[in-house]
Chains A and B, each alone.
Chain A
Amino acid sequence: MTEPLDSTAIAGKVFPVRAHVPVVVVGAGPAGLAAALEAARLGLAVLLVDEHPVGAGLIGMDVPLQFGERMDAAVRNKPRMLERVVAARPGIEEAFAMGVDVQLGVYAWGAFVDGPTSRAQPRPLLALADDERSWLVSWDRLIVAAGARDLAVAAPGWDRPGVMGARAFAAALDLYGAFNGRRLVVLGSGVVGLETALRAKAAGLDVAALVETADAPQGPAALVDAVRRTGIAIATRRCVAAIAGTTEVERVVLRGLDDGTTHEIACDTVVTAIDVVPNVELFDLLGCRVAYRAPHGGFVPDVDGDGRTSAPAVFAVGDCAGLSDAGLGDPATAIAAGRRAARAAARDLGRTDVPADGAPPAAEPVADRDPALRRWIAAQAAEGGDALVVCQCENVTLRDLLGVRPPAYLDYDAAKFAGRNLHSLAAEGPLNQDQIKRLTRAGMGPCQGRRCREQVQALIALRSNAPTGSVPLPSFRAPLRPLPLSVLSADDEPAELRANWTAWFGIPAQWLPHWEKAPEDAEFWGGRVPIPDATK
């Protein structure tokens, strides 16, 4: 190489990696475990990471699931939680036994690959962290099995401790063994709501009601019957008028959508179980093509029969690749997908003798999951009105969101906004949720938009009479989990990076008076002097 390098640029800087791993699997649910086990069986070195058990700090922030502060103090005991996670997922023991490098309580918070604005990394990187520190690993093939997230829906009082999501409820009960509620109201009567109610009942919890905005239960008849047999009341044509209590949830007030009447139900927990959402954050960071597919549960990556995304080294398996009609109770599809991806990865890495998995690819889901989302969001928005807080972190009300208003802590001239709203914005071009985030701060807070991004998307779509999927996916950003400065901090930073650090580009003439001629000879200024700090 004869060309000079800009010493203040990223060119030539080395970012230390802890290890190079041929196959990394993110997520130790059924799909991820199946992928890791299959890859190990085929003789590949595999790293399997899963963020559970997550740190108590994140649990308190509703990250990565909407935990609603409904877990007991045991979650602070990490070793105990590790034991429970391992016990809850027998495949983990098997993976250990197979020689898989299983790392639990480890967050995948970023991924850095070649692309139009990034060429400097010699290999694709995955960024990981635990509660103490962060590090990088490089990989040849990445199998993402990140599962599904909660779908939160705003209702008056939804910020009270005790309001949680269906995935969080399942995790609290089955993974952490730390659920500390007793009497639940479950919102939603689709597959997710029905399964949640049944699971609660089986765990000996009291399900005070299952609430549905539609005029009939929505899920498969067999599940509806099963729920009815347990004696759980299904309240249809109802929405949530209030979630009330002194601080925590003590009761829910339901509103009849036809007659406007209200009635109260005592409970300590509200599980929002209208649906779950494929977790596509890593695909967005990796630049994999995603598309909105209502039967799959929202934005999902484009994949081939092996689960290979538009980024050929990246696979998507399990719920993060799209939900199935069967619901969460049936892991067979996810397991098959995990195996197929592992086999394809093995073939990529030279195991040409590995035949494609014989199992037929899973049937595509057909049930349209969009109407339930829109029906609930519309009903709760109508009930909550202008004052409904849509984004908890940033305290953005429905009025402020729809009126594209600046946040309340700013003084502004309200008259200037009289004619400005989502409609006027839509007249200037397709609505973009990231732009609305910038204007209103909805989705800009510490929960990283987890609790409001789907709601905001649906509200934008509803208000502009557009299909939900017409609103493009708002971007995900690293770190995908809120990480303390002390954890994210590059303590392994190479000396060369430190020595050549400049606050801005380090172009000597930029810092000298622009009303004078720039010095001809940059050498006069010591060449590319490291400027330790810059004026901006």
Chain B
Amino acid sequence: MAEAGAVKGASVVVVGGGVTGLSAAWWLAREGVDVLVLEKGIVGWEASGRNGGGATHAYSPLFREEQRLWPMMDELLGYPTEYRRGRIRVALDAAQLEHYELTSRLAQSQGFTVDRLDARALQELVPYVGDDVAGGLFWNYGGHANPQRTVQGYAWALQDRGGRILQHATVREIRVAGGRAIAVVCDQGTFGCDAVVLAAGPHTARLAAGFGVAVPVVPARAEMIVTEPLPLMRHGGVDGNGLYGRQTLRGNLAYGGGPHEWIEIDGAATPRAVNSPVVRSLARRLRELFPRAAHVRVIRSWAGVVENTPDGRPILDRLADPANVVIATMSSVGFGLSPASGRAVMQLATAGSCDFADLTHLGLGRFAGLAPDWYRDRGWVPWSSGDGAAPAC
């Protein structure tokens, strides 16, 4: 990558080097567009490098494209993502089984198939489940990948195609004139542009507010645990019992779920996301899911900050004013969809619309009339027990 001094403006400046911004930039670079990513820290450092790696979003209009693209990503990027296709849902009891059958319908209605697994078949595929497991489902769709390898893969692949990334470059302002974004101001300089993709995750709201556009997203912290490696199952994408996650190709069990914590982000930096006693509850659920792995040791936990919109759905929108800005924020389901969201954003930025998915209901327009303090009504606010007993730590 060029030194800071040598970086000039670009045709498209992407604000945010998470998986959404990087994928968009990579697709733009593939189209020969001169693209520059400005990232306040290290690429993929936030939610994009800290998630469950799940790539199974049947409720999204981008689902088909997600499913089509993932099996090709290693080749398209030229770097390994550790993608594996297929998911297994383990039901510990009849109620869970029924629930999984229900949640499978959305994919089935789009032509994807599901196989039922009885307890014996499940035990063969997933040796860590217990004797009394109710059964499970095998989804011949969906999958999982390694988030950290994937974000770095996007970043390297876009550099290979001439795209540029400037790390440690915090964007302060998107300068607008005559109804168009004309430059992006960051602490490493000001970069002229023909278009802007705003993909700053939880910081998107603040940056958009700078040019008068309200983007309703609020941040929350979510956490995961990971175990030491154990022998590989035939399919790593196994979850259930209120957990999401996967066995990595190295053999570690990496799982999340449970209570999140709504937080406030004060300023341009993302605070370091800590873990909480929830890690013990994650361990409990994982032990319940895989009783034969009860002896396996948890070696690490982590947390990340995700962004959520009022309906939990992404915002993928080319604005009317300023007319050359695309807002791209994924409301906590952005990793798996990234191959498809990036392509959609590329089309929004270059052609103004997406030709492979119906994004009608992912626009900002759906939030017209939303109360400014909408998040309060839902309790999406930081909460403290407030008994004053906690000393300053």
Interface positions of A (Cβ within 8 A of B): 3-13, 15, 110, 112-125, 127, 134, 136, 140, 285-287, 311-314, 394, 406-407, 409-413, 416, 420, 427-430, 432, 435, 438-439, 441, 444-446, 448, 477-479, 482-486, 488-491, 493, 497, 500-505, 507, 509-518, 532-536
Contacts and interface: CB of A to CB of B under 8 A. Distances in A.
B57 A535 contact: yes
Given A429-B42, A516-B361, A117 B61 contact: no
B390 A122 contact: yes
10 contacts: A10-B260, A112-B274, A120-B384, A312-B392, A406-B80, A410-B80, A501-B242, A503-B243, A535-B54, A536-B54
Contacts of B264: 116
Interface string B371-393: 00000111111111101011111
Which one of B239, B276, B332 has the greatest number of beta carbons of chain A within 10 Å?
A: B276
A513 B239 CA distance: 22
Nearest to B381: A3
B163 interface: no
B228 A505 contact: no
Contacts of A7: 379
Contacts, number: 316
Contact residues of B: prevailing secondary structure = loop
- Pairs of residues from A and B, 8 with the lowest C-beta to C-beta distance, nearest first: A510-B312, A536-B54, A507-B312, A11-B383, A490-B280, A116-B271, A488-B283, A482-B297
Which one of B299, B303, B384 has the greatest number of beta carbons of chain A within 10 Å?
A: B299
Given A312-B393, A535-B56, A510 B279 contact: no
Which one of B165, B272, B285, B383 has the greatest number of beta carbons of chain A within 10 Å?
A: B383
Contacts of B300: 444, 448, 477, 479
Contacts of A119: 261, 263, 382-384
Contacts of A502: 242, 257-258
B69 to A, nearest CB: 17
A123 B45 CA distance: 30
A498 B182 CA distance: 51
Nearest to B299: A482
Contact of B332 (A409, A445, A484, A504): A504
B216 interface: no
B361 A136 contact: no
A10 B294 contact: no
Nearest to A503: B257
Given A485-B290, A532-B96, A536-B333, 9 more contacts: A3-B379, A11-B379, A117-B303, A394-B250, A409-B250, A444-B300, A485-B287, A486-B287, A532-B242
B358 A515 contact: yes
Interface string B55-67: 0111111000000
Contact of B228 (A12, A446, A535): A446
Contacts of B106: 513
Contact of B311 (A3, A134, A420, A509): A509
A485 B305 contact: no
Given A134-B280, A312-B393, A515-B61, A504 B257 contact: yes
Given A485-B227, A515-B361, A516-B361, A127 B249 contact: no
Contact of A124 (B257, B293, B390): B390
Contacts of B384: 114, 119-120
B280 A435 contact: no
A416 B263 contact: no
B18 interface: no
A117 B220 CA distance: 8
A486 B42 contact: no
A430 B244 CA distance: 34
Categorize the interface residue count of chain B. 35 or more
A485 B379 contact: no
Contact of B390 (A114, A127, A478, A532): A114
Contacts of B272: 115-117, 287
Nearest to B99: A532
B233 interface: no
Interface string B145-158: 00011001000100
Interface in B100-117: 100, 103, 106
Contacts of B383: 5, 9-12, 119-120
B277 A140 contact: no
B273 interface: yes
A420 B275 CA distance: 33
Which one of A7, A125, A516 has the greatest number of beta carbons of chain B within 10 Å?
A: A516
A488 B393 contact: no
A489 B308 contact: no
B148 to A, nearest CB: 4
B244 A439 contact: no
B210 interface: no
A267 B354 CA distance: 70
Contacts of A311: 392-393
A140 B379 contact: no
Which one of A113, A312, A416, A491 has the greatest number of beta carbons of chain B within 10 Å?
A: A416
B10 to A, nearest CB: 17
B184 interface: no
Nearest to B89: A533
B123 interface: no
Interface in B118-148: 142, 148
Given A6-B379, A10-B261, A513-B106, A534 B295 contact: no
Contacts of B331: 510
Contact of B165 (A428, A438, A448): A428
